[in-house]
């Protein structure tokens, strides 16, 4: 891969010099042949892919391996952040559910703001966003059912209907938890 990149860069440089009228056609042919030869030599001889600056030696293969390790660590960090966001989402969705209505709204708004910041920072895709916010989304549905009344009252005319919907939403939340626990 590296010899190919060197060849591509060399050809682009030589062609740019020719088009800029900085070199003539014979010089261009010579430089083009030199770039091709260097690329073939680098491709064929692994020993020449080493860079030795006063005994500071690093092979291009080692640099590529290090790059891959850094990318893997970056992915691990993102996955850890996504797991922490899920934990934060569930805890904040549950926090203060029986406290004051104003306090609960403030905590949820704060949680939503922090989640948006995490989503932006880690450039999450729609699947990751859905996974990170699945609990708060279900709790928002519960809040809509309660219509911010702080509880379900048996004398409410919609009591049975709401009780069934709340049971279904609670079952969905429990299913999320079981799925995460079981790893399925």
Q: Do the Cβ atoms of 108 and 138 come closer than 8 Å?
A: no
- Dihedral angle, C-alpha 146, 157, 175, 181, nearest 10 °: 50
Q: Do the Cβ atoms of 57 and 104 come closer than 8 Å?
A: no
- In the chain, what are the domain boundaries? 2-64, 65-182
Q: Which tens digits make up the pLDDT trace of 26-72?
A: 888 888 888 888 887 777 666 555 655 666 666 777 777 777 777 76
Number of residues that make up the chain: 184
How far apart CA 60 and CA 90 sit, in angstroms, is 46
Residue closest to 90 by CA, chosen among 181, 184, 1, 26: 181
Q: Which tens digits make up the pLDDT trace of 111-169?
A: 778 788 888 887 888 988 888 888 888 878 877 776 655 566 777 777 788 788 888 88
């Amino acid at each position: 891969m590296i010899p190919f990149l060197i060849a591509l860069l060399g050809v682009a440089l030589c062609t740019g010099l020719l088009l800029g009228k900085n070199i003539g056609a014979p010089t261009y042919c010579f430089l083009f042949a030199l770039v091709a030869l260097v690329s073939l030599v680098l491709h064929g001889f692994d020993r020449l892919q080493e860079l030795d600056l006063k005994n500071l030696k690093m092979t291009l293969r080692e640099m590529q391996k290090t790059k891959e390790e850094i990318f893997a660590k970056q992915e691990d960090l993102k996955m850890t952040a996504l797991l922490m966001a899920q934990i934060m989402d569930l805890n904040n969705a549950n926090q203060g559910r029986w406290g004051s209505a104003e306090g609960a709204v403030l905590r949820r708004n704060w949680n939503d703001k922090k989640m948006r910041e995490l989503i932006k920072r880690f450039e999450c895709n729609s699947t990751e966003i859905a996974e990170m916010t699945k609990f708060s989304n279900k709790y928002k549905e519960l809040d809509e059912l309660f219509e911010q009344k702080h509880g379900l009252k048996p004398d409410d005319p919609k009591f049975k209907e709401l009780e069934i919907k709340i049971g279904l939403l609670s079952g969905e939340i429990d299913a999320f938890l079981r799925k995460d626990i079981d790893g399925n």
